Structure 1
């Protein structure tokens, strides 16, 4: 693309969003600047900072979002081997004087910069996450004449740090602790509703509209602590919503705990507020994979008991006592609702757990057989082959 065309596109984007745009060549030389850019008083050199942005690892032709610890956002697009576009700074936080004071506190910034920082943040354009996606999409289309895959941007906004199934499965075998927090009622109800109903796209749209700094402050001094508290709040809310939607409680609470641990350990502010969004989407995905379905309360009680006590002997008589029903009637009710006999369901859940243990641990086949309370290894192998189509040893080698 010619230099003139690139400058023309940059001007169109600036006219639409009024956010400064820089065009640099691969020799790290600035070609053009569109719009007035107020430089942060914390930068020793704006040019040096932008050169650092250009060095960030990114796929060619894919917009890269970068959020600084000072809550400034930049978009970097490597247009070709010769040119790079930098859009920014802007922010997606409502930066009040209290917010700025919290940043000063967190990063031990000299108070001599306080007035300059107030002025700097007051001049930054405020964009919602939806507007950020639109900005990336418009710029991309003008450059390449084809639509941008929005998931490329959403994945940067909402999927910074995924929760691996193996990590969840490995920790799920320990007792979980429930967390109890509170959030603005309307925001809580929408998050609760979309997670509970498994509506991934509606949740994404709702998250794009949330301004984290518009919520109540849970730490007066520290912006980082406040962000961590807010993220922990809706992790806890979404966990309860996923359980209401049918996700097994032990899965939900394990994912809850893993995410909260990551939030507490995170030092990068960008990572802190993206971990929570990633957890919400992961909960929906796991819920749709593992939900207990729309069975009666008694059947769900049995299914949850089987899940939680998978490493213990489980009998139909024990389950009947749990729900205060006759064993024969419970078996008939379970088969009517689930479609398979209760005894076979218990067996299949144990065999599914055996599959996970074979793939995710180094336990011997004999140990797995004993852990899951099968009568003998030969009996276990026979049942497993009938269930999975291969022997346990063959399954582990897959």
Structure 2
């Protein structure tokens, strides 16, 4: 059981300290944070997604039971609260054997992409009207996705921060004030100076070569420009500054190779691995060696995809379709999404899938409409619109082409 007594003051959460911790966690993880007191009232929130309960009003209704069960069976700690809306939170419960003082909720987050089917599942389970569908979709599009590995490391970070009994020394009450206007101006000025040292065109060229797996050009650009410009020993506290730049550089590379087709979870795992290696480096020479091996590893991750490039194209195209099922889906847009010309993408898709891209889109829409016809009472027109058809007659024609029956007949058969 974690000891969290340092977060409690006069039999209640130490709110000035908790608010500072909340901001630290928000800026450290990118996840919004909500603080709930012993009466389950929201007393503080920070971040763009901290107010989803304004739309999903009962998202915290099961939370009281979750807290009671957690205290009874586990006690203090960091746990995952899964709501009824496919949204989750990392929860730090602050309690002792006699009292519950409140909780820190980091989130919400998704564990998988919010495609059209997930939206429809939530709509069905919560018995929402179709009028709420676009609002729900817009909301989910703003929620971050956490892989299992990132979830694990964030839990470790939260535990390390909130269980540190010396955290009060880091946030003395005298310093728990808002930034003054002068401090903000000085900070902005420092950012502008730092930005001026960067060659944006060079960064774009370098990242483009990483994304395409051009290992030889990547190494040349690094040796000729990147190393000298970004990782030098000329600045004060150069090792710490270079470590910070290296971690930021690793994060940028991890996002770049995802665009190049590497699985997001693999890319984020590499970023976490190299962040640890960078922090563990003891001197500048060791750090540079890690950076150089890191750059080669990231670039080779893209290069190794060349043998399965076609599989990656089809997978990404399918992903696009499932994420935009209720919207107009144009071949040109999808071809651009997978970085191919429309003609080449169309012929590649048909060769690999043995059906045209247009047929694949219609087939996917029909499958989703079958789910809605079987599980909801939405009108056929509403279902047609939700899967991307604004004309019910056209929807019926397409549905009959793939199933042999009309939507109405299919619903009647399913009800038997």
TM-score range, shorter chain: 0.3 to 0.5
